[in-house]
Amino acid sequence: MNIMSRTGIKAVAVVIGVGAAGIAADWHLAASPSPSLVSPSKPDNLPRVEVVRPRRATVAQRLQTNATLEAFEETDLFAKVSGYLSDVRVDIGDHVKAGQVLAVIDVPEMKQELAEAEAQLESKRSSLVSARRQLDHNKADVALQNALAKDREQLGEGRNFISDRTLDQVHANADIAKADLGVAEANRDLAANQVDVAAAAVEKVKTLLAYTQIVAPFDGVVARRQVNRGDLVQAATATRTTPSAGSLFTVQRIDTIRVFCDVPENDVAQLRVGDPAIVRPSGFDGRSFTGKVTRFSLRLDPETRNMRTEIDLPNPKEQLYPGTYAEVSLEMNRRPNALMVPTAAVGSDAEGNFVYTITDNRITRLAIKTGLTDNGRTEVIAGLSEETPVVASTKNVPPLKTAVQIQMARENS
């Protein structure tokens, strides 16, 4: 009886074991991928690595720096004569044209000086007319005396009709006429010089009177007005002072804006006129304006070791204001068609720069020479071709010669 029981139990155990083995076999078949999806050389348990293909793109050395917007031209207008302002015709924000009168200084005594100078000029002109007439008279007298002397000489030849005393008197009269002619010519020249002096005096007073009108030197906008009607203004001194110490107006030309920025010493060797520049002024919610490097000073400030650089931005709608702070991105040493890989794919150690690639489905290392880095990508100058797949990142890469599975990574364009 006991033997039968033990035999039955063993049979049941065998059946259960066989069933369990069958269930396990079915589960293994269901969980395993089909033979068509798994290559004998790439078993499913191999580590996966993402790879990218090098590609051609434009690369540039970019510099981010601070900048200030300024007017293309700016001038402080001072008075050249002293007097009281009788008229102020513009205010801040007004647009003006070149030559437009902005204010008038009243100098009554200067008008009187002009009247006196013009009267003196007329007097000198009359004297010149008289001197010319006298000169014409003396010329005629010289011609008459010369004719008389010639006639007397002809009459006196061989006939003694004319005495020697009479001939001497005739010659003396001719000499006197010539002397008077010389005096008349001198008087004429003196009168002409006096007219020139008087005319210069008139022009001088007129020029001073023109200074009583403050005019715009160019088309622009009145940025500062510091005077009112009735103010006493003084003629500016030879040394230009600050706007608050004597200027009447400040006029700015803002149809074009100058963007001033400083380029550090390490970057100036790459800077060129015409380099692209992106300007982002404050207050525009990140909006950018595109321009080019227009000029730079060709010298470094010995204190900051920076070089002053300017970018001209057209401003026809006058959206940009002088004095605004801005950020500038300069593109220097621009290189088109450069071979680029993600910066994360480039490693560096004592042996130099390198990338990881896949050879026969195994990790290998490839030495490269790099150039510029721009927007998360690095230029490869030597050691890599466009057809070579590169591991997308040097982080967590399996050891060299490790067999791996390849997976193409998605890149942002």
Give pLDDT tens digits for 313-357.
999 999 999 999 999 999 998 888 999 999 999 999 999 999 999
Same domain, 388 and 318: no
Structure-block tokens of residue 297 = 């000073």
What's residue 22's pLDDT? 40
Same domain, 117 and 202: yes
Q: What is the pTM of this model?
A: 0.64
| Cβ pair 205, 113 in contact under 8 A | yes
What is the extent of the structural domain holding 263?
Answer: 65-72+250-333
Select from 363, 357, 405 the least CA-distant residue to 384.
357
∠ at Cα 198 (194, 203), nearest 5°? 145
Instruction: Please report whether residue 187 resides in a domain.
Output: yes
What's residue 1's pLDDT? 41
Select from 179, 210, 241 the last residue of a domain. 210
Structure-block tokens of residue 44 = 């499913």
Give pLDDT tens digits for 64-102.
999 999 999 999 999 988 999 999 999 999 999 999 999
Same domain, 255 and 304: yes
CATH code (residue 191): 1.10.287.620
Select from 87, 106, 81 the least CA-distant residue to 207.
81
What's residue 114's pLDDT? 85
What's residue 55's pLDDT? 92
What's residue 408's pLDDT? 86
Instruction: Please report whether residue 11 resides in a domain.
Output: no
CA–CA distance, 411 with 342 (Å, rounded to integer):
9
| Cβ pair 191, 131 in contact under 8 A | yes
Instruction: Please report whether residue 9 resides in a domain.
Output: no
What's residue 176's pLDDT? 87
Splitting the chain (413 residues) into consecutive groups of 10 residues, what average pLDDT does each group show? 40 36 36 37 75 91 94 95 94 96 91 87 90 88 81 62 68 83 89 92 89 94 95 76 70 97 94 95 93 96 96 96 96 90 93 93 93 89 92 91 87 59
Instruction: Please report whether residue 238 resides in a domain.
Output: no
